[in-house]
Amino acid sequence: MKPAPTLSTAFLHPAGQALPEPLLALRKQRGSALVDMPLPTRKTENWKYSSKYLKLTDDMAISLPAEGKTGSSLAVPGYKVAFLNGVMIPEACEYPDLDGISIKSFDDLSDEEAADLADRLDSTLDNKAVQMARLNSARFEDGLLIRLKPEAVLDQPLFIVHEVTAEASGSAFPRIFVDAGRHSQITLVEEYISSGSAQVMVNTVTEFNMADGANITSIRLNMEGENVQHIGSTGVLQQRSSRFESHAVGFGGPLRRHDLQVRLEGEGAECKLNGVVVTQGKQHYDNHTTIEHVAAHCNSEETYRNIAADQSHAIFNGRIHIHQDAQKSNADMNNNNLLLSNGAEIDTKPELEIYADDVKCAHGATIGQLDEISLFYLISRGIGRREANVLLTMAFVNELVEQIPVEAVRETVQGRLSHFFEQTFQEA
């Protein structure tokens, strides 16, 4: 039997030596643990549809240069933080000094702050389940630490633009850690964009550590080009009565992968996870979500919708794990999928593991095409076929797009959807 492929040692040499010593030490320690790390193959259950698209050749191991110009597709009305190839660009950031809220790049942390962060990085993620997050921990060159003191409220959304410049092959390793104190509140938008056309990889980790009553709305936009593989992980750790809301919107690429793990650790915590994925051409998009109901009386609500056109492939794997003590858990997961062509493929797998006996747990998954009767109804009113197709496809995701609480983001998403419709539905 052929031995399983392992991560090339070329990946074990991080750039970015400006980090404070405790973070450099952490990174080194995480790196040494990656020696001989087996890479996912099609026999790896949670990578079975996507492993063949994962390209970790030695040219991908090169760090993309931490300099250049940034731009965003968002007309940003709130506060803004800009990262280029995983490194903060201070001159492109716009946010005031805020009472009770600290927004700092990892490079700017004192040794004491860095030591505290080093103790807590990776604490929200189950690293066995998200192997690729471990690579980020060994390679991040900078990062964003957001700390909210108890009761602190950010009055406007914080836009974090992560851009990669793909002039030559290589990778970037964006990293975000949010520490939300008791009853603090923040809305943040992570937007991932790219310029250039070389084959590159973006490997991200975002972590949310939420104290009692904290309230976070997280919006994630995957808007990179056709040359960008994106492998991202998000970990959320929720204490008592905290609330996490996620809106993940992604457009496809050669490989897009997002692992979202939410751990409801304090009683009364709740999360709402919405996702919209649109793929076309030969694009590939793989969403894996896990919700751990650890404590009793927690609620989770999840709705993901995929639209796959042409020969593209979308995957949804949603796991809900209700632990033995998590009585009175309430979990509801839905995944609806729309195939726009005979060549498109969608795979969906709900996984429920329930060890408590007094819980409410529901899941539903559908895969279908545009409804012929609805289409006939629309065109029988004189509406053109193309427009009817657009209306029905938009309707499929509109409910989720409308729920995104930031107008600039909704507009950006609607713009990208219009572009997708133009390419997908030809004039009759």
Partner 1 sequence: MLSIKNLHASVEGKEILKGINLEIKAGEVHAIMGPNGSGKSTLSQVLAGNDAFEVTGGEVTLNGENLLELETEERAREGIFLAFQYPVEIPGVSNLQFLRTAVNAMRQHKGQGEMNAAEFMKLAKEISKQVDLDPAFLKRGVNEGFSGGEKKRNEIMQALLLQPKLAILDETDSGLDIDALKVVSDGVNALRAEDRAILMVTHYQRLLNHIVPDYVHVLAGGKIIKSGGRELALELEERGYGWLGIKDEDTADSSAN
Write out the residues near partner 1 by the rule CB under 8 A. Answer: 371-374, 376-385, 387-388, 391-392, 394-399, 428
Backbone angles phi, psi at 344, to 5 degrees: -80, 155
State in angstroms the smallest separation of the CB of 363 from partner 1. Answer: 20
Residue 18: which residues within 8 A CB-CB, separation 6 or more? 107, 142
Tell me whether residue 288 or residue 305 sits nearer to partner 1 (CB atom): 305
Least distance (Å) from partner 1 to the CB of residue 391?
5
Report the candidate in 175, 141, 172, 142 with the shortest Cα–Cα distance to residue 62: 172
Kindly tell me which of 282 and 385 has the beta carbon lying closer to partner 1: 385
- Cβ 367 to partner 1 shortest distance, Å: 17
- In angstroms, the CA 413 to CA 393 distance is 14
Comparing CB distances to partner 1, the nearer of 115 and 392 is 392
- Smallest CA-to-CA distance from 190 within 422, 423, 412, 14 is with 412
Minimum separation from the CB atom of position 179 to partner 1 (A): 38
216 vs 308, beta carbon nearer partner 1: 308
Min dist CB 370 to partner 1, Å, is: 11
Residue 190, H or E segment = strand 185-196
CB 218, min distance to partner 1, A: 24
Q: Please identify, using beta-carbon distances, which residue of 118 and 401 lies nearer to partner 1.
A: 401
* Minimum distance, C-beta of residue 138 to partner 1, in the bound complex (Å): 44
The DSSP code for 150 is: T
Structure tokens that stand for 176 in this block = 């975000």
Distance CA 68, CA 90 (A): 12
Taking the CA of residue 385 as centre, how many other CA atoms within 13 Å lie in the half-sphere pointing to its CB?
6
Rounded to an integer, what distance in angstroms lies between the CA atom of residue 322 and that of residue 40?
A: 27
Helical packing angle, 385-402 and 372-379, nearest 10°: 120
Contact (Cβ atoms closer than 8 angstroms) between residue 399 and residue 419: no
Angstrom distances, CA of residue 402 to CA of 10, 219, 395: 44, 13, 11
Rank residues 96 and 382 by Cβ distance to partner 1 and give the closer one. 382
Rounded to a whole number of angstroms, the minimum distance from the CB of residue 368 to partner 1 is 14
Measured from the CB atom, the residue of 195 and 414 that comes closer to partner 1 is: 414
Residue (351 or 387) nearer to partner 1, CB: 387
Return d(Cα 234, Cα 219) in angstroms, integer: 11
